[in-house]
Amino acid sequence: MALSDHNPLPIAAYSDQDERFASAFRILEDAILAKAFPGAAVSVTYRGETIALKGVGRFTYDPASPTVEPTTIYDIASVTKVVATTTAAMILYERGALDINARVADFLPGFDADGSKKRITLRMLLAHSSGLPAYERLFERAKSRDELLQLALEVPLQAPPLSRAEYSDVGFILLGEILAKVANESLDRFCTNEIFRPLRMLFTGFNPRSDWHAHIAPTVEDRDFRGKTIQGEVHDENAWMMGGVSGHAGLFSNAPDLAQFGLCMLRMGSPILKPATLNLFTRREAMPEGTSRALGWDTPSQPSQSGQTFSSRSFGHLGYTGTSLWCDPVRQLSVSLLTNRVWPDRSSQAIKYIRPRFHDAIVEALEAK
């Protein structure tokens, strides 16, 4: 199947999107002119339908580079944590195979070598309340996937469990390994069989096929580690050292596929999950006090990258490369925004200001009389 053939609805169904969402799309076009990112792809679902699919800009700032299409594929970075890892956890939990209150050390020998981590549970990994640090450059010391995982097991705590919410890639690296053990199947294979295929997410996966590469926006000019332009392989170095498959990063997807995923979440998980499971994982945790985190998912805080208008029941996630997915069950709205804001390097932080304005403009357009 060609990428151009993969739309939830015929292109004619989006004929009014440029007028309806003119102010939102203008925010993205202005951001491109300001070099916040060279291009973006967007999908919007509303009340059970995909109502917008849009591509703006180019793969890079070179005027000769390919134009971004609605179907352009992006490295979605930490959005992997919800589309793949958290959803896999929900499926296994629902089947009775995964106890989210079980101790991590029971699955991963060597995790609690010094006795400081014995209280840490899978729930704490999901809620980013384990006390593990946000990020470690494990790839600099590891020469293989196994070596990196061993280093991840040995990472010391930065805080006592449940004392604070600290977003942690390390926690999700470990969680991905646990899920693969429970499923008795690699994380990428499980997600393909249990999530992507049932939802017809035909261009979503880890380690994208070589014939997809021309349709994938590049992420970075990596002069320090890999010494080349990164396109079609994962941007995150820890995930790359793990062979491109990890619980914290590694997934590639496009706007139509994420629209399908968003619609599933807004249908209370149908057809792959039950409503009770989705409610459990998307409800904000009570501990640590003041956390915005649910299980795997984030919820709106103040200020929030979802903007000021998404309801308090919303849930979503961001990706370091400049990607995001937010779902509002009150409005029955999902918005996927895919960019490569790390091109050609990671210096620009402008997306932090652009993304909430874009989300607000989408809601304002929907609610305009």
User: For residue 224, how many other CB atoms are within 10 A of its CB?
Assistant: 9
Contact assessment for residue 137 and residue 241, using Cβ atoms and an 8 Å cutoff: no
- Alpha-carbon gap, residue 45 to 52, rounded angstroms: 7
- Dist CA 160 CA 290 (whole Å): 16
Task: Indicate the fold that domain 3-83+187-367 takes in CATH.
Answer: Beta-lactamase (3.40.710)
Where do the H-state alpha helices sit in the chain? Answer: 17-20, 22-33, 80, 87-94, 122-127, 145-154, 169-183, 187-191, 237-241, 255-266, 275-282, 351-367
- What secondary structure letter does DSSP report for 284? P
CA–CA–CA angle 288, 291, 296 (5° rounding): 100
DSSP string, 221-251: EE-SSS-EEE-SS-S-HHHHHTTT--SSS-E
What's the pTM? 0.96
DSSP reduced 3-state for 213: helix
Domain residue spans of the chain: 3-83+187-367
C-alpha closest to that of 128 among 91, 178, 86, 164: 164
Contacts of 308 (CB under 8 A, 6+ apart): 356, 360
Beta bridge partners of 57: 39
**pLDDT tens-place values along the chain, 369 residues long:** 556 555 444 444 577 999 999 999 999 999 999 999 999 999 999 999 999 999 999 999 999 999 999 999 999 999 999 999 999 999 999 999 999 999 999 999 999 888 999 999 999 999 999 999 999 999 999 999 999 999 999 999 999 999 999 999 999 999 999 999 999 999 999 999 999 999 999 999 999 999 999 999 999 999 999 999 999 999 999 999 999 999 999 999 999 999 999 999 999 999 999 999 999 999 999 999 999 999 999 999 989 999 999 999 999 999 999 999 999 999 999 999 999 999 999 999 999 999 999 999 999 999 985
